[in-house]
């Protein structure tokens, strides 16, 4: 995992397994592009429950403003983190082998009322969008980041050709 601790990280990208990194690195990549300091960690709801509790309960005091949580299968990680922090939690359903991520999606998106998880698309597009959305949230109180976000979106628009080649 190339992105580890960055000074003053505002976004925590956590994932249930090393195997999720292939997907979650897309969130890190877009945050890198937008100049948002972030930190990536493996926190498994099932295999490292104590690490999960410790992370979730200290995320706010550690200075994080947004948490991006990716997991696959019976994906409890985003919901469990959301239950222990008031920070916004963005959930990324990682594509699973058996059910192609439908299991991940449903287990992340179907939160009972009261504890929200902002759920993105299955797989890499969801991870990318989680990164952009985290930046959008931070940009509401960061004018310089808002300008970088606007430029990023404009570049995407400019890259679309008028006609197919």
Q: In 3D, which of 77, 80, 59 has the Cα closest to residue 69?
A: 77
Q: How near is the Cβ of 143 to ligand RP5 at its closest, in Å? A: 36
**In whole angstroms, how close is the CB of 13 to ligand RP5 at the nearest point?**
13
Exposure b/e, 43-68, CB count within 10 A at least 16 = b: bbbeeeeeebeebbeebeeeebbbbb
Q: Is 20 annotated to bind ligand? A: yes
Distance between CA atoms of residues 33 and 16, nearest Å: 24
Cβ nearer to ligand RP5, comparing 52 with 134 = 52
Distance separating alpha carbons of residues 3 and 123, to the nearest angstrom: 19
**Minimal distance, residue 92 CB to ligand RP5, in Å:** 10
What is the binding site for ligand RP5 (CB under 6 A)? 16-17, 19-20, 44, 46, 71-73, 94
Is 54 marked within a binding site? no
Tokens 């410790």 belong to 54
131 burial level (CB within 10 Å; 0-12, 13-18, 19+): buried
What number of H helices and E strands is found in the chain? 6, 5
Query: Residue 46 CB, nearest distance to ligand RP5 (Å)?
Result: 6
* Residue 56 vs 94, nearer CB to ligand RP5: 94
Residue 142 known to bind ligand: no
CB-wise, 10 or 119, nearer to ligand RP5? 119
Nearer to ligand RP5 (CB atom), residue 121 or residue 146:
121
Binding residue numbers for substrate:
17, 20, 47
Binding residue numbers:
17, 20, 47
């Amino acid at each position: 995992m190339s992105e580890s601790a960055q000074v003053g990280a505002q976004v925590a990208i956590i994932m249930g397994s090393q195997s999720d990194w292939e997907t979650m690195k897309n969130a890190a990549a877009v945050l890198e592009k937008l100049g948002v300091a972030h930190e990536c960690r493996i926190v498994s709801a099932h295999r490292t429950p104590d690490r999960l509790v410790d992370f979730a309960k200290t995320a706010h005091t550690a200075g994080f403003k947004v948490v991006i949580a990716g997991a696959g299968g019976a994906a409890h990680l985003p919901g469990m983190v959301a239950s222990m922090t008031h920070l916004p939690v963005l959930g990324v359903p990682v594509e699973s082998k058996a059910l192609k991520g439908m299991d991940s999606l449903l287990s992340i998106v179907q939160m009972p009322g009261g504890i929200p998880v902002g759920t993105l698309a299955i797989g890499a597009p969801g991870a990318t969008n989680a990164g952009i959305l985290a930046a959008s949230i931070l940009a509401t109180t960061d004018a310089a980041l808002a300008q970088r976000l606007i430029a990023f979106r404009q570049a995407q628009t400019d890259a679309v050709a008028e006609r197919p080649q």
